[in-house]
Structure 1
């Protein structure tokens, strides 16, 4: 098809955009480190953790198994590409 981007070029562009998106996400999430946020627990996580959401819908990984549907207060200790890591306070 005329004007269509070749496959290898499209994949290269996709990889570049993904790297940019992850870099921007890390920068944004780094700005949350040290903040104290209320987190609504939403689901069990991996290896004894619990996932939750802030009021701005940021995902937070909590370091222990917590009841689902409860509010917890957490201090953000790490900002990653896809989520924040919090410690309960």
Structure 2
């Protein structure tokens, strides 16, 4: 599969609405969190080999930041997805 086909397939999947439900999004975030935690040592080794980054630096600047973002999104996703009224300026009518 070339890149254009892959992009088309991904776009079609997104437009199908399968990614919209709260449960789907939570599961994807949890999978990302598990993948980062499971492969933390491999990521540290790769970053050391490629950039000579120490494990603590990798955690502080790379994986730790992403894990914190994932935790933040897990905590706030439901509120972000809540429907709310948006004020419409009078000039828009």
- TM (norm. structure 2) is 0.30
Considering only CA atoms, is the larger Rg found in Structure 1 or Structure 2? Answer: 2
Identify, as 1 or 2, the structure richer in strand.
1
